[in-house]
Structure 1
């Protein structure tokens, strides 16, 4: 599946649950219509799986809360010249619920260049 070569499993799940067709369509060969169809077909299946356990429900809610910050931080790193995969990985490693965008970017940059403090 080409999507998993472009996104991590967690990223793809986040995009599906949040119905982010724009993010999914960034994968090579996936247009807006295909992204919408993927979301339509997988959203309910994933929600049923995710909401079967209350711990997973909390995790999905946290994903929704941090999704906008995640995207904003990745876009910030893209603007600084990082590639999408590297920026996503950096943000994924450090993002925590309750963090602000400034903290996310600061920690991601420090993580990327620990000697350049």
Structure 2
């Protein structure tokens, strides 16, 4: 329904933000990651939040995100059985989108289960289902695009970054294009992913 809402930030507290757009204030649930990204002295400050509207039989709830990649991670998370919007928001409050993607990629249950409301079993299910989706995407995309970097270590770094970006909902082709001018030789994997995401959301 809404892709993003942009206007004056009229309310900001942990877990909640409201933006006045055209005389209507939209209240949104937010993660700690988004809270940290918004201006704390918010009077007269303009802000943009990317949104997801959760529709249930008895309620409508709007969720806001400071970045497209956080929204993408949220959308991927709520496709996992047993993971609703509140649990997804809880996880994204303790892990950035980049760290979340790396946790899935490395099957790091401990990192995922540090979020309130997520135990070891749920963490394992998140990893299993998202890695299955990743495998399906890789089969569907095939190997038509060449992976940048020829040395084994460079190729491994690139493949890991591509898989992490695919966890966040991007296609293999989009991921490879975003990585073309990124220094995959000297940068750590998390920084490679962050720079690629920056290019993808331009």
TM-score, with length taken from structure 1: 0.43
Structure showing the higher helix proportion among its residues:
1
| Larger-Rg structure | 2
Structure showing the higher strand proportion among its residues:
2
TM-score, with length taken from structure 2: 0.27
If asked which structure has higher relative contact order (CA below 8 Å, sep 6+), I would say 1
